[in-house]
């Protein structure tokens, strides 16, 4: 009996999960020089191009090899809803079937995109609908960056046009600082001047109050930080925000230098 062999499936790297230095290392592993990574980074973020064939200043052989080992993959849009004031909400699905929400809020002079960092949440805040579904998993860096990249495309981003998304807030599903290792590099891509090129004052991580991570992030990046208090005193906050029992308001204020 003759044996049949199957061709192994190569899992392609989603380039949205790489910071600029990570992309330089990836490209170096392909035998290419660092400037190729910078070209690629610009194509993906400055021009919002996700197909390697369209990246015309890259060598054809490099583009061919990229298509074999890499991709630019975003979440799948399950539904999209637009309100009368222009606010848009998307329900996005990832591999494995999990879904999250993403919201764009237009205002005079600014457009804020609210993104998710987890599928579900572990914080168990009593007023939050996400807490009712429990925790499924952390989103990886590519899944976080992919939300912004996809929203830009959906909102008609043009390299030569006005910026549509001016602000990004980690205020969707999940506690961002509980997914520290994926959120921080995602924010780095958003603030990179060759990446999404957002001001450090315009990328905000909203936390329910994980003090050790708050102190750590202050040392590692310049991203803006917002603390959701939800209550005027420790007693009430401990009732509705369980994390306050471990990190009360006074600890939050001390961590913020007050």
Exposed (0-12), middle (13-18) or buried (19+): which is 102, by Cβ within 10 Å? buried
Q: Which residue has the higher pLDDT, 240 or 43?
A: 43
Span 229-243, mean pLDDT?
83
Residue-wise pLDDT for 81-133, tens only, equals 999 999 999 999 998 889 999 999 999 999 999 999 999 888 878 787 776 77
Span 226-237, mean pLDDT?
84
Residue-wise pLDDT for 164-194, tens only, equals 999 999 999 999 999 999 999 999 999 999 9
Residue 105 CA to residue 164 CA, distance in Å, equals 10
pLDDT at residue 218 in the model: 86
pLDDT at residue 132 in the model: 74
Residue 74 pLDDT exceeds 70 = yes
pLDDT at residue 241 in the model: 85
Of the pLDDT bands very low, low, confident and very high (cuts 50, 70, 90), residue 44 is very high
Residue 243 pLDDT exceeds 90 = no
DSSP state at residue 205:
E
- Going through 19-148 in order, the beta strands assigned E by DSSP cover 70-71, 76-82, 88-93, 99-107, 110-115, 118-120, 135-138
Residue 182 CA to residue 177 CA, distance in Å, equals 9
Residue 198 pLDDT exceeds 70 = yes
Two tokens at 106? 């237009």
């Amino acid at each position: 009996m003759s044996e049949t062999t199957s061709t192994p499936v190569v899992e392609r790297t989603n380039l949205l999960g790489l910071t600029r230095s990570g992309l330089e290392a990836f490209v170096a592993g392909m035998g290419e020089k660092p400037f190729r990574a910078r070209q690629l980074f610009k194509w993906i973020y400055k021009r919002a191009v996700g197909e390697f064939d369209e990246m015309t200043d890259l060598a054809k052989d490099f583009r061919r090899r990229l298509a074999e080992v890499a991709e630019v993959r975003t979440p799948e849009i399950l539904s999209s809803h637009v309100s009368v004031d222009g606010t848009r909400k998307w329900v996005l699905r990832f591999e494995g079937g999990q879904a999250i929400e993403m919201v764009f809020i237009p205002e005079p002079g600014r457009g804020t995109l609210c993104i998710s960092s987890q599928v579900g949440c572990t914080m168990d805040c009593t007023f939050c609908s996400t807490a009712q579904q429990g925790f499924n998993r952390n989103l990886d860096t590519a899944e976080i960056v992919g939300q912004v990249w996809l929203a830009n495309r959906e909102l008609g981003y043009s390299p030569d046009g006005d910026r549509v998304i001016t602000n990004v807030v980690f205020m969707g599903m999940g506690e961002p600082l509980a997914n520290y290792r994926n959120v921080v590099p995602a924010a780095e891509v958003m603030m990179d001047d060759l990446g999404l090129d957002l001001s450090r004052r315009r990328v905000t991580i909203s936390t329910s109050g994980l003090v050790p991570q708050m102190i750590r992030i202050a040392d590692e990046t310049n991203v803006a930080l917002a603390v959701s208090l939800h209550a005027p005193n420790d007693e009430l906050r401990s009732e509705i925000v369980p994390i306050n029992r471990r990190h009360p308001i006074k600890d939050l204020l001390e961590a913020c230098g007050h």
